[in-house]
């Protein structure tokens, strides 16, 4: 067969892998253009560490995609190797056989994706079939392995991925979503079983499943991509590069240990952060953006950090992933310099970016459900003598003081209420945006449901209004954003925000001057954070926040 013609099929318009729809938000197909960005980053790193050598001209390098879906990474790698090895292996058929049998390996995540990957890579459903561009395989699967894997149930949960037995202990006709790569205690032995011998991969690359929906229609979906990253590191490749959600920057649900390990790993040498996932995966509802990283097992040092968003200039710098005094990754390069100025003004220290506990605004912010009322709680419509006003989802109601089970010290004080969930525009990440829901002043004899966090208490209405003006300022909300990983605005996201003097009204101009921000820093803040108008806000009026006004 004409091998060159076979590989030329991928150049036809349109490329079929740009046209297929995603199966779900946890099984997202990678566009070919983006896969090639990752491969370019890999090639640049290889050249820098091998005296300018071309990785695609090395016939000994082995590649593994341990969670292949469309097969796009393996296809693009094969295409590059086919061109790069042309002089060393002149015969096209011999060259392709060598590449596909000796250098390219994959593990399918489901039956259908394994078939799709084989079709993309071998141009045939069967690696040893009549239409396959490979001629040396003895098996139908070739080097794209897939077999049904079962969960290992312990106390109704899978011990490897945490899946619920109730929702994923399924019949033989349905996928188990027990991904083989993470369902083992000994990944090196498992890889040897799949591909034979003492298999070692120079490069592990891919786009792992992001989450495991435990039957809660998305509300209880737990992240699992970190499990694939940790497992891949155990194989000790020379390079590891993956595209994953960016939410790990600040930790959260099941991600705190992963965040700590990633930020403290100086083998993470390159991080490309996309503020909007739609810029990478059009049509995918994935809040918080995505990133791809390059981990170099034999090269330690600071990380090249690049921030991408639509048509904005790409911001690139080289810095430690974990700054002194921080427990999260500071996402914006420009935001880091601003945070340094704020902390230096408050502490006199320019080497760290943490505030002392007594200067942190988070000490004024309550935990969730501060008064003991769940989000779905509804107070009575009619007020009885002695009742308190409760601010709840959808408006206000009334409750007896005796119904309040916690937070009693806040009931008769002035305070602010701020939404626990930030406003949004569906699943899109847009800038500039408000970062938080519009807070409002609440007086004595008021409480709230879990819909709101309480901020305070304050001795007077004037102090509460001063704090309200401070939260309306763009700089304040940028500092919140630097610690915020999702739509939830918990107490922790106020860690970088300093407390102020509550005897004055705060404005953007006043804060910019207070911290001696430059014109460029101000321009950056105003590009990221939109104004928050408070002129129509009323004391205790929850109607001011429409919740969808980015």
Average pLDDT over residues 228-250: 95
Q: Which residue has the higher pLDDT, 351 or 269?
A: 269
Q: How confident is the model at residue 218 (pLDDT cuts 50, 70, 90)?
A: very low
pTM of the model: 0.85
Task: Using the predicted structure, report yes or no on whether residue 540 has a pLDDT greater than 60.
Answer: no
pLDDT in tens, 292-317: 999 999 999 999 999 998 888 999 99
pLDDT in tens, 329-380: 998 999 999 999 999 999 998 888 889 999 999 999 999 899 999 999 999 9
**Whose CA is closest to 405, among 377, 375, 370?**
370
Q: Which two tokens stand for residue 311?
A: 């048509």
3-class SS of residue 11: helix
pLDDT at 548: 33
pLDDT at 42: 98
Integer Cα distance of 88 and 60 in angstroms: 12
DSSP annotation string for 452-477: EEEEEEESSHHHHHHHHHHHHSHHHH
> What percentage of the chain carries pLDDT values higher than 90?
69
Number of H helices, E strands in the chain: 15, 19
CATH of domain 3-146+179-322: 3.40.50.150
pLDDT in tens, 135-144: 999 999 999 9
Integer Cα distance of 158 and 148 in angstroms: 15
Integer Cα distance of 532 and 472 in angstroms: 6
pLDDT at 254: 81
Domain ranges of the chain: 3-146+179-322, 147-178, 355-544
Q: How confident is the model at residue 474 (pLDDT cuts 50, 70, 90)?
A: very high
- Other C-beta atoms closer than 10 Å to the C-beta of 508 total 17
pLDDT at 174: 81
Q: Is 137 left (phi over 0), alpha (psi -120 to 50) or beta?
A: beta
pLDDT in tens, 153-201: 999 999 999 888 888 887 777 888 899 999 999 999 999 999 987 889 9
∠ CA 439-442-444, nearest 5°, is 160
pLDDT at 339: 95
**pLDDT, the chain, mean:** 88
pLDDT in tens, 63-118: 999 999 999 999 999 999 999 999 999 999 999 999 999 999 999 998 989 999 99
Helices 333-347 and 474-481: crossing angle in degrees, nearest 10, is 110
Element (H, E) at 118: helix 111-122
Integer Cα distance of 515 and 529 in angstroms: 17
Q: Which residue has the higher pLDDT, 27 or 474?
A: 474
Cα distances (angstroms) measured from residue 19 to each of 22, 57, 248, 297, 536: 10, 30, 29, 35, 47
């Amino acid at each position: 067969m004409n091998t060159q013609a076979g590989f030329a099929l991928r150049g036809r318009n349109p490329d079929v892998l740009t046209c297929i729809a995603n199966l779900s938000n946890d099984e997202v197909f990678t566009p070919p253009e983006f896969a090639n960005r990752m491969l370019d980053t890999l090639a640049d790193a290889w050249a820098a560490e091998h005296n300018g050598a071309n990785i695609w001209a090395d016939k000994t390098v082995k590649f593994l995609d341990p969670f292949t879906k469309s097969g796009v990474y393996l296809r693009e790698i094969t295409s590059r190797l086919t061109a790069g090895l042309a002089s060393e292996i002149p015969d096209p058929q011999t060259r392709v056989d060598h590449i596909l049998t000796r250098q390219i390996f994959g593990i399918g995540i489901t039956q259908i994706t394994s078939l799709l990957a084989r079709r993309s890579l071998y141009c045939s459903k069967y690696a040893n079939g009549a239409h396959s561009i490979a001629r040396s395989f003895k098996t139908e699967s070739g080097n794209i392995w897939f077999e049904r894997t079962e969960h290992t149930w312990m106390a109704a949960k899978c011990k490897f991925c945490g899946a619920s037995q109730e929702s994923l202990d399924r019949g033989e006709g349905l996928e188990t979503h027990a991904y083989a790569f993470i369902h083992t205690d000994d990944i090196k032995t498992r890889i040897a079983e799949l591909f034979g011998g003492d298999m070692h991969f120079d490069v592990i690359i891919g786009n792992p499943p992001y989450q495991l929906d435990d039957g809660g229609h998305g509300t209880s979906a737990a992240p699992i991509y970190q499990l694939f990253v940790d497992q891949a590191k155990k194989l000790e490749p020379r390079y590891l590069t993956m595209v994953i959600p960016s939410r790990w920057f600040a930790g959260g649900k099941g991600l705190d240990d992963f965040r700590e390990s990633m930020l403290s790993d100086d083998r993470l040498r390159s991080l490309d952060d996309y503020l909007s996932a739609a810029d990478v995966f059009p049509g995918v509802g994935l809040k918080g953006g995505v990133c791809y990283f390059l981990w170099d097992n034999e090269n330690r040092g600071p990380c090249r950090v690049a921030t991408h968003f639509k048509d904005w200039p790409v911001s690139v710098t080289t810095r430690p992933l974990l700054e002194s005094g921080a427990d999260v990754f500071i996402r914006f390069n420009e935001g880091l310099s601003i945070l340094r100025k704020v902390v230096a003004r408050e502490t006199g220290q320019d080497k760290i970016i943490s505030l002392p506990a007594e200067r942190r605004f988070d000490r004024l912010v309550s935990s969730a459900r501060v008064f003991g009322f769940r989000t779905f709680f509804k107070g009575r419509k009619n007020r009885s003598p002695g009742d308190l006003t409760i601010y709840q989802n959808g408006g206000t109601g009334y409750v007896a003081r005796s119904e309040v089970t916690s937070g009693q010290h806040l009931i008769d004080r002035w305070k602010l209420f701020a939404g626990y969930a930030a406003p949004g525009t569906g699943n899109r990440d847009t800038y500039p945006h408000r970062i938080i829901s519009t807070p409002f002043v609440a007086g004595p004899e008021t409480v709230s449901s879990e819909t709101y966090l309480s901020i305070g208490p304050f001795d007077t209405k004037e102090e509460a209004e001063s704090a309200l003006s401070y939260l309306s300022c763009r700089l304040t909300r940028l500092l919140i954003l630097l610690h915020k990983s999702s739509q939830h605005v918990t107490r922790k996201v106020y860690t970088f925000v300093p407390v102020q003097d509550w005897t004055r009204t705060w404005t953007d101009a006043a804060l910019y001057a207070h911290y001696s921000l430059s014109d460029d820093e101000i321009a950056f803040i105003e590009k990221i954070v939109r104004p928050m108008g408070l002129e129509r806000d009323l004391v205790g009026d929850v109607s001011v926040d429409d919740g969808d006004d980015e």
